[in-house]
A and B are shown apart, each in its own frame.
Chain A
Amino acid sequence: MEIAVNALLTIVGLVILCFGGSWLVSGGVAIAKKLRISQMIIGLTIVAYGTSTPELAASMAAAVGSHTDLILGNVVGSNISNIGMVIGVCAVVSTLVVKKATTRKEVPIMIGVTLLLIAMSVDGEISQYDGVILVAGLIAFTAYTLSRAKKERNEATEDSASTKTRVPRALALIVVGAALLYFGGFLTVENAVLIAENLGISETVIGITIIAIGTSLPELVTSVIAIRKGHTDIGIGTIVGSNIYNILMIMGIS
């Protein structure tokens, strides 16, 4: 009976995730049109921040509980699942056609911060000094995306500015969508863990599979919804942005 309730709550969590992802994408697209910036920038910023909240929450909880190994495992595991699982599933859903120009700068940044994390891990620890460098990188990357958005806005034609978008509604969609992604992800993971425990599955297996995949569910749902709606740039931007934020923000802050 208990497993049936947990299974039902897992399904409810997945439904909430779908609504959250859909609303976050809709709000992001509306804001992109209103501000006359590309969907890639929205994917790299607002949507990537929104979908990274479960990883941030899980890592902050691990940091408070002094489980620092879990933070690195969570970040590395999430980044791998973002590429292997999320991009893989998105490409299975629909062939992804990506504009080369949109990923010319961001993808090398993603590779760069990944190499930086590996270099910092060589001595066996991520020190507070390393954390300061990562947070400085986060500030620099945020400043870069904002300056790119400003440049795109200046280059945009007047026609694109005439779209009728209600900003408060779009912002509400983004905030509520991100909150639903967080709550839906939490509900899904918590109940999936309880089902696995009831079935006698070990903590290690649960940690590697359910937690790693579960914290990437917001990225998966959001990217699949974005790509199915034809907004491929938001889908790709979300993955690249999330991988950068996972390292710079989550490792840096934790």
Chain B
Amino acid sequence: MIGFAVVLVAFLRSGIIPRPAGVGLVIAYAAYIGYTLL
């Protein structure tokens, strides 16, 4: 949870969350769900 929050802070401080970053977040979330299921 802290990891995701820190990533969000980094993006928000830069003032922009570009599309590739969005794709990265979705992949990271999918990986988290996959890891939890395993």
Contacts and interface: CB of A to CB of B under 8 A. Distances in A.
B22 A90 contact: yes
A218 to B, nearest CB: 17
Interface string B1-36: 110111111011101111101111110110011001
Contact of A79 (B1, B13, B24, B37): B1
Contacts of B9: 107, 111
Nearest to A108: B9
A98 B21 CA distance: 14
Nearest to A94: B19
A251 B13 CA distance: 28
A20 B18 CA distance: 27
B12 A92 contact: no
Report the interface size class on chain A: 20 to 34
Contact of A95 (B18, B25, B28): B18
A217 to B, nearest CB: 14
B8 A95 contact: no
Nearest to B25: A88
A15 interface: no
Interface residues of B, number: 28
Contacts, number: 96
A208 B29 contact: no
B4 to A, nearest CB: 4
Interface in A73-117: 76, 79-81, 83-85, 87-93, 95-100, 103, 107, 110-111, 114-115
A91 B17 CA distance: 6
A209 interface: yes
A84 B7 CA distance: 9
Nearest to A90: B22
Nearest to A115: B2
Contacts of B29: 80-81, 83-85, 88
A107 B1 contact: no
A99 B1 CA distance: 24
A100 B17 contact: no
The 8 closest A-B pairs by CB, nearest first: A91-B22, A84-B29, A88-B25, A88-B26, A96-B17, A92-B22, A83-B4, A91-B17
Given A87-B22, A100-B12, 15 more contacts: A80-B29, A81-B29, A84-B29, A88-B22, A88-B23, A88-B24, A88-B25, A90-B22, A91-B17, A91-B18, A91-B23, A95-B16, A103-B12, A114-B5, A205-B37
